A and B are shown apart, each in its own frame.
Chain A
Amino acid sequence: MRFAYIAISAALLASAYLLGGMNRTSDSWTPGNAMTGTGVQQAAASFDRMTTGSTGVAPKTDRTADEVEIAQVTVGQPAPVTPPTRPKVDESALRYFARKGDTARLQAEISRLRALYPDWTPPEDPMAIPVNADRELERMWQLYSESRYAEVRKAIADRELAESGWTPPADLLDRLSVAEARAQLTNASDLNQYDTVVRIGAETPSLLTCSEVDVLWRVAEAFARTERPGRARDAYLYVLNNCNVPSERLATVQKASTLLPATMVEDLLARERPGPDGTMEFDAIRDDLARNLVAEGDNDATITVPPQYLGRVERLVESGGSASDALLLGWYYLRRNDMAAAETWFRKARGIEDSASASQGLALTLIDRKEPKEAEEVMYRWRDGSKDAQQTYFAATANLLAISPPLPLTEEVLARIASETISGRDAQTAQQFGWYARELKQHKTAADWFTTALSWKPDDEPSAYGLALSRNELNDETGVAEIQRQWADRSERIARLGETEPQEEKATREKEAAAVARPAVRTAPAAVETAPRAATSRTTQGAVRQRGCSFTVDPRSLSPAVALARGWCLMDMNRPLEAARAFEVALAAPGVKEREDAAYGQSLAYLRAGLTSKAAVSAARAPQGTERIVELQSAILRDRAVASFNAGRNRDTILILDQLSQLGTEQQDLMVLKGYAYLNLNRFIDARRIFQALAEAGNREGAKGLVEVRRAQFKGNQN
């Protein structure tokens, strides 16, 4: 067996540790062997060689995950490595990239060779390295640099046939295998074939280096998705321990945080390095991570978020943070019935910026501590925001009216509660209005409310009982008898009404007052709670579960401010068309700022829905800040460019992209588009210029594009 790597550097050992033991067997093969005979007989003989190991290719069966794990353990021991004799380093790739001026690849090659051969010193001025004298080899390197691996394979085999005794440089073969392995691994990863990803990674240690961080991420993801989080963490740790590009380090932790449990993410964060300006490199991530964790805790009460994350979000709020951070905390504590803490954070959130969510949260805590009056005040403004907000509002009103003895409420408050109750058809509040009126001896009013409640909820026995009591007070014997008939089988207390002595009847009434809110716990009559509390706890749970904008509401019934909030909420839920309708309502807002927000939101919503022309119209409906103008126009132009390219309108595509570049946002992927648009128009020089620039910037699409240009030109010449 001939190992391609005789000298294994520390970095490669580390990667070997990462992935477990591997036999590197993509070996050289001696070309030009006599082709004697054909067919099956030889095939049989070659299996013999293979399986007896005389040529050392181990049978590659499917290695299971466990075997990889076991192998990892053994390789983890410090392996006796034969001290490398000073190797002959193949610098032909180096020369090729230097001559091409491809500094990105040149640097990658230097670091790769360094990793392979720790004793090797790169040339002082790599750009001064002499050109490869071998033209054919030069051409192979060129094909390689254009990612045309199948053609390199063919070129090598062609030359071996044509020129006996020629063998390809080991470096070329090696790099080619690695490049093909990278392509295969990437394809497998894109198709979620995680075992393949891990297997190729294990077979190709030189893919597991800092210059291949994308591969490392894919391998880590493959481990994480196949329930091997420990291995995934090790792969991420490898990047953090060995690699130095700040953006890649940051991205590593970001990726890990979506795939690994929090404790493992902690391990990664511990590898943080201080930046030149004294800040720690993962600060921003830690904030987001803390937010994400607390947000997860909002959705799932069984999750306990470690105190340091809660503390981090708390500090964010205290140090001038956003209302949304405070809201995260409010809902987190509310889910855990820590109402006092929840109230604190909801109040802070409202202090920074009032919103439906903050008000709803605060209202729920207020109802909980029997302050429905304030809850009603807090929620009134937001009552129409969602079905959920409305439920919270009615929980406040029902509880407010149920308090005994009745709180003195102003005419204004009573009027608005009544109006909301009617328009929202809330039987619960209507019933409580009945009891409230009864307490105030307004029996006619009470009868009306009980009747109303029954019309919305015909099986509401307490309302029927209240109505019977009220009619009794009003000496409406016929009315009482009618109710008694209707409820004959269903309510003993209605049936027995009038049988009791006046003294006892009063007692009953008082009891009834305490039970006014009981309907909320009708299904659990054993609950011995005070009425308002019972009403609250049920509504609270419902409200928390359904907060947000998950319910469908016709936005035209909303106030512009509520519609605006709903629009953003719907955007968060990725329901752009509904969001656009909500923003439409918000466009009627009196304030310039709100209208701008609404137009901006509607534009984004249409963009997300793929309705570019509508987005453009929306963007023009209110004056926008410069930054937003650029953002929207860029996004709109970008979509238009892609659409017109896909529709084959190449000239339009170029015009649009020119406009876009004037906004100063010429991104590489759009340049690729432009290159192909030129190519489709047979404007080869322009296409080549663009792809050349991209290729020089190290963009692979650039190299591919150049190939396409050449092909197209070649075809053009043929025709």
Chain B
Amino acid sequence: MMQSLAKAIAAGLFAVVLASGAASKPLISAEAWNAYKENFLDTSGRIIDTGNGNISHSEGQGYGLLLAYYADSPPDFEQIWSFTRTELLVRDDGLAVWRWDPSKRPHVTDINNATDGDILIAYALALAGARWNRDDYTAAASRIATALASKAVVAHGERLLLLPAVTGFAAADRPDGPVINPSYYIFEAFPLLAQLAPQADWTKLSGDGLALVEKMQFGPRQLPTDWVSLAGEMRPADGFPGEYGYNALRIPLYLARAGNPAPALVQRLRKQTTGPEDSLQLMTFDDAGPGTLLTDPGYRFINHLVACVAEAKPIPEDLRQFRPTLYYPSTLHLLGLAYAAEKHPGCL
């Protein structure tokens, strides 16, 4: 009975034909990937957040797996996955603990998860499992997706929401709950998650999420903040810096990578966050100051990518080459480059 059910599901999957791109050469060059590894990958398989006390987290492991996949490197994928599995995937519900600190014993001091990290890990596993015929990866992806469906996807009124973590953000957990993080919506992953864990309505979650992000217009420049309360009227969540910050700056990148489902939103974000000399300008909601200017190539790449996708403006020469700086902007840079290489090679 189990098998016939599975067959029925599988038959449905064939109907969903999604993006494909036969890669003759890797989307991330060997040179760029080697530079990334040298700077951010420990031999233990741990991606090191060099801007953050050299800790590791589920997000970093997820990014590492995804980048290894784009670099067509099963060995590196194996290495990163080994660490991810043995050190982070220990929670009873099948999700990953979010933070791993080399200076603490045990290395994990908070067993909560981070939903974006789980999504990235499941997404990378599903992609790699398919390309490299690794059923164990696919099975692991399915396990994480199933746990996400039951623990992180919740109904709130008419909407489906993605909770940033299993603990601490729901309506019952805090007075301004539910609180969401718009940059945890990794839209490109939702179609795959829908196939891995069909018990949740990922299509609705994706659509609801997009509608929410479009409505998040706070502060002087009408931008989303990193953390948003949905308790009543949508507003920046309590207890977090009310800013379009290091979390939110990924939103246009993720939207572009997801096939640009909301072009107007993405262009608005680009306009409102382009600072002097193509820097990326953050925004503080409260004091309405000018906002921090980020000049790291990885950050600057985001608005250029968005501009190229919309208006075919070529990306400046100096940003086409990957130069590692810190973990986070370097990761975003490679994700952007991989996307441009696959879908908009003319931008490069």
Contact = CB atoms under 8 A, between A and B. Distances in A.
Given A40-B127, A150-B44, A191-B108, A29 B133 contact: yes
Contacts of A148: 43-44
B47 to A, nearest CB: 12
Contacts of B133: 29-30, 33, 46
Interface stretch (B79-87, B227-235, B302-310): B79-87
Interface in B214-272: none
10 contacts: A38-B23, A41-B18, A45-B14, A46-B133, A51-B6, A59-B6, A153-B75, A157-B77, A187-B90, A196-B92
Nearest to B106: A190
Given A59-B6, A61-B143, A47 B82 contact: no
Nearest to B197: A61
A27 B136 CA distance: 8
Given A29-B134, A36-B22, A53-B3, 6 more contacts: A29-B133, A50-B139, A53-B6, A55-B135, A151-B43, A188-B92
Contacts of B287: none
A161 B83 CA distance: 21
Of the listed residues A35, A42, A150, A180, the one surrounded by the most CB atoms of chain B closer than 10 A to its CB is A150
A260 B290 CA distance: 63
A674 to B, nearest CB: 19
Interface in B97-148: 97, 106, 108, 111, 126-127, 129-136, 138-140, 142-143, 146-147
Interface string B166-203: 00000000000000000000000001100110000000
B134 to A, nearest CB: 6
Contacts of B10: 47-48, 51-52
Given A33-B133, A43-B126, A52-B6, A62 B146 contact: yes
Given A48-B13, A51-B6, A62-B146, A57 B135 contact: yes
Contact of A29 (B19, B80, B108, B135): B135
Interface string A697-716: 00000000000000000000
B314 interface: no
Contacts of B30: none
B108 A157 contact: no
Interface in A445-466: none
A61 B196 CA distance: 11
Contact of A37 (B9, B23, B76, B196): B23
A86 interface: no
A132 to B, nearest CB: 21
Contact of A59 (B21, B45, B90, B139): B139
B159 interface: no
A38 B139 contact: no
A25 interface: yes
Contact of A161 (B75, B80, B147): B75
B108 A154 contact: no
Contacts of B17: 41
A44 B13 contact: yes
A158 interface: yes
Interface residues of A, number: 56
B136 A43 contact: no
Contacts of B139: 25, 50, 57-60
Nearest to A156: B78
Contacts, number: 193
Nearest to B128: A43
A184 B89 contact: yes
A191 B90 contact: yes
Nearest to A42: B130
**Which 4 interchain pairs have the tightest Cβ spacing?**
A51-B6, A150-B45, A42-B130, A43-B130
Interface string A134-164: 0000000000000011110111111011000
Contacts of B134: 29
Given A35-B132, A52-B6, A43 B82 contact: no
B313 interface: no
Counting chain B residues whose Cβ lies within 8 A of the other chain, the interface size class is 35 or more
Contacts of B90: 184, 187-188, 191, 193, 196
B193 to A, nearest CB: 11
B146 A196 contact: no
B1 interface: no
A195 interface: yes
Q: Which residue, of B74, B83, B131, has the highest number of chain A Cβ atoms within 10 A?
A: B74
B83 A150 contact: yes
A157 B20 contact: no
Interface of B: 3, 6-7, 9-10, 13-14, 16-23, 27, 43-45, 72, 74-83, 85-87, 89-94, 97, 106, 108, 111, 126-127, 129-136, 138-140, 142-143, 146-147, 191-192, 195-196
A55 B6 CA distance: 13
Contact of B135 (A46, A61, A154, A156): A46
B45 A60 contact: no
A153 B77 CA distance: 9
Contact of A38 (B21, B89, B191): B21
A160 B9 CA distance: 34
Nearest to B13: A44
A184 B85 contact: yes
A51 B82 contact: no
B138 A154 contact: no
A100 interface: no
A320 interface: no
A183 interface: yes
Nearest to A49: B135
B79 A150 contact: yes
A191 B126 CA distance: 27
A59 B72 CA distance: 26
A680 interface: no
Contact of B142 (A50, A154, A180): A50
A251 B101 CA distance: 32
B79 A52 contact: no
Given A33-B132, A44-B130, A193-B90, A50 B138 contact: yes
Nearest to A189: B90
A156 B78 CA distance: 9
A50 B136 CA distance: 9
B2 to A, nearest CB: 8
Nearest to A39: B20
B138 A29 contact: no
A211 interface: no
Contact of B20 (A41, A46, A51, A59): A41
A187 B106 contact: yes
A180 B131 contact: no
Contact of A50 (B27, B135, B192): B135
Contacts of B72: 35
B138 A47 contact: yes
Interface in A174-230: 180, 183-184, 187-188, 190-191, 193-196
A613 interface: no
A39 B6 contact: no
B18 A35 contact: no
B14 A44 contact: yes
B259 to A, nearest CB: 11
Contacts of A26: 136
Nearest to B142: A59
Contact of B106 (A156, A184, A191): A191
A396 to B, nearest CB: 53
Contacts of B106: 187, 190-191
A199 B9 CA distance: 26
B339 to A, nearest CB: 12
B132 to A, nearest CB: 7
A433 B158 CA distance: 79
B246 to A, nearest CB: 28
Nearest to B141: A43
B87 A40 contact: no
Contact of B127 (A43, A48, A50, A58): A43
B75 A195 contact: no
Contacts of A25: 136, 139
Contacts of A46: 129-130, 133, 135, 138
